Amino acid sequence: MVLRVGHLLRGLLLAPFLLSIDPVNAGADTLRVATFDAGLSRAGPGRLIRDLQRDENPALAALFETIETAGADILLLTGTDHDFEGRAAALIARRAGFPVHLSVPPNAGVPSGHDLDGDGSVTGAADGWGYGRFPGHGGMLLLSRHPFVAGSLRSYQTFRWADLPDVPMPVQADGTPFFTAEADEALPVSSNGLWTVQIDLPAGPVTLVGISASTPVFDGPEDANGRRNAAELTLLRQILDGAPVPDDAGSTAPLDGGPVILAGKLNLDPLDGAGQRAAVQALLSHARLQDAGPEGPPPAVPDKDHAGDPRRDTARWAAPPDGPGALRVDYVLPDRRLSVAGGGIVWPSRPDDAGPRFTRHGLLWLDLVLP
């Protein structure tokens, strides 16, 4: 596996493979952890690098202003294109002011060789091991002001769905498999990324669990995407439980017994929208985690049929019937042993000429008291 990291990783390159109103004033004894789908993905490889190198880009300026305002110590960016030379990651880290970064190639856009969407072609964006227009499309990038523990990176991106009987693979209306037998045998659970790394803090290491899961929509009655999203969250829960889940290197050792912080895009709201909501509800009530429920300003025009608290929504789509409305799909869920000092959601200001692909997500952050 190829990975790209910043220059303060203490040898990781040699490893195999808040309810505060002011988000800029974190205390010295707290750790600010954030996640943000900043919409740093493009329609083709290299285009994100091109945009980052341009002097004038109002949309990017607005996104980096949001990141600066949040003042995070650790920031997991989802929806961020990965390139195998690490150029985009380095440009983002430098512009955002983070000395350390980590990017793992996602499953998104990696050709599967199978017709996964049944359209008669094996070369479409939906025919990759995860949906993507090219390898690396919309991956994850971890930015940090603290070094990572050498050799602590563990990825779970090759674990096969066929080996997770808890969430059956999709079938047609007549009961036959939705995918071919060959695809059923090979399809990984992870549609994008699922990996862990230890962060070296003065008070001791903390394990960051990062995930970017499949959207549970854009499928048919077989619920292929909904089931895969549920499978990803189920696999994540098993890892947190300490089950003998093999990582990509074949190790079945459980996570370190120290504190964990789950961050990323689960792409599932516990009360609203499509998907198998029990999968995210099980994570929110997990014995190892706590749901601090950080809040931000609600939408100007809330959805009258919205069951959840609109202040907790992290992404805003068009209201029904044109879209799902505002949903809670991004999360930072810290270990129960960590105290939460505050949290919030920072929404980027949309420039007039931002274009249709400007992010719909807010930046979610929590301040955690160090042990």
Domain boundaries, the chain: 4-369
Element (H, E) at 137: none
Q: Are 109 and 137 in contact (CB under 8 A)?
A: yes
Interatomic CA distance for residues 137 and 130, integer angstroms: 9
pTM listed for this prediction: 0.92
**pLDDT, one tens digit for every residue, the chain (371 residues):** 333 344 333 333 323 232 233 444 445 589 999 999 999 999 999 999 999 998 788 999 999 999 999 999 999 999 999 999 999 999 999 999 999 999 999 999 999 999 999 899 999 999 999 999 999 999 999 999 999 999 999 999 999 999 999 999 999 999 999 999 999 999 999 999 999 999 999 999 999 999 999 999 999 999 999 999 999 999 999 999 999 999 999 999 999 999 999 999 999 999 999 999 999 999 999 999 999 989 999 877 667 788 999 999 999 998 888 889 999 999 999 999 999 999 999 999 999 888 778 999 999 999 999 87
Q: What are phi and psi of 34, to 5 degrees?
A: -140, 160
Architecture of domain 4-369: 4-Layer Sandwich (3.60)
Interatomic CA distance for residues 104 and 4, integer angstroms: 7
Cis peptide before 23 (omega within 30 of 0): no
Q: Are 265 and 35 in contact (CB under 8 A)?
A: yes
Which distant-in-sequence residues (6+ apart) come within 8 Å of 238 by Cβ?
A: 245
User: What residues form DSSP beta bridges with 154?
Assistant: 196
Q: For residue 136, what are its two tokens?
A: 């690396």
